[in-house]
């Protein structure tokens, strides 16, 4: 099964182009405009990785990141930040809220593919570890 990828970015042209490039990489890429549409999609569908574009207010993107991690804690989020709005402080805040990475735009597409793959592997490891812990707790409860 192909990795399910949600691309959230306010720039329609950038989002469509990136989505096409990701589909060529055999991802099941879905597009969303920020805020309402993205929040609805996160509620309805489980994505493996989200590419979250930051080109205006970093705080708006951080709020959306927080929502994603609350609703879908295993979904990994990679921020795509425009160089002109990037700050180390905001990037650190994003990591503290659970972002997998914060990449600068313009992107090296191969580096992006690599980071998406790494994020997906981390998601799978976290899910497996949590399932193992739950299974172990059940076994201890049933044997005790």
- Which pLDDT tens digit goes with each residue over 2-20? 899 999 999 999 999 999 9
- Cα-based angle 2, 67, 55 (whole degrees, multiple of 5): 80
Pairing of strands 4-8, 28-32: parallel
Residue 1 has a pLDDT of 64
Is residue 34 scored above 80 in pLDDT?
no
How far is residue 100's CA from residue 48's CA, in Å, rounded to a whole number? 12
> pTM to 2 decimals?
0.92
Domains and their CATH numbers in the chain:
4-143 (3.40.50.2300)
CA Rg, the chain, in Å? 16
Nearest to 58 by CA among 33, 32, 81: 81
């Amino acid at each position: 099964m192909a990795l399910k990828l949600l691309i959230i970015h306010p720039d329609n042209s950038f989002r469509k182009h990136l989505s096409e490039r990701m589909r060529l990489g055999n991802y099941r890429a879905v597009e969303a405009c920020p805020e309402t549409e993205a929040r609805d999609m996160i509620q309805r569908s489980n994505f493996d990785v989200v590419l979250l574009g930051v080109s205006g207010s970093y705080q708006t993107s951080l709020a959306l990141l927080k929502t994603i991690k609350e609703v879908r804690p295993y979904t990994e989020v990679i921020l795509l930040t425009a160089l002109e709005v990037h700050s180390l402080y905001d990037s650190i805040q994003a990591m503290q809220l659970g972002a997998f990475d914060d990449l600068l735009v313009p992107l090296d597409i191969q580096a992006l593919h690599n980071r998406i793959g790494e994020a997906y592997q981390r998601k799978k490891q976290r899910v497996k570890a949590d399932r193992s812990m739950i299974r172990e707790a059940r076994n201890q409860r049933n044997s005790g």
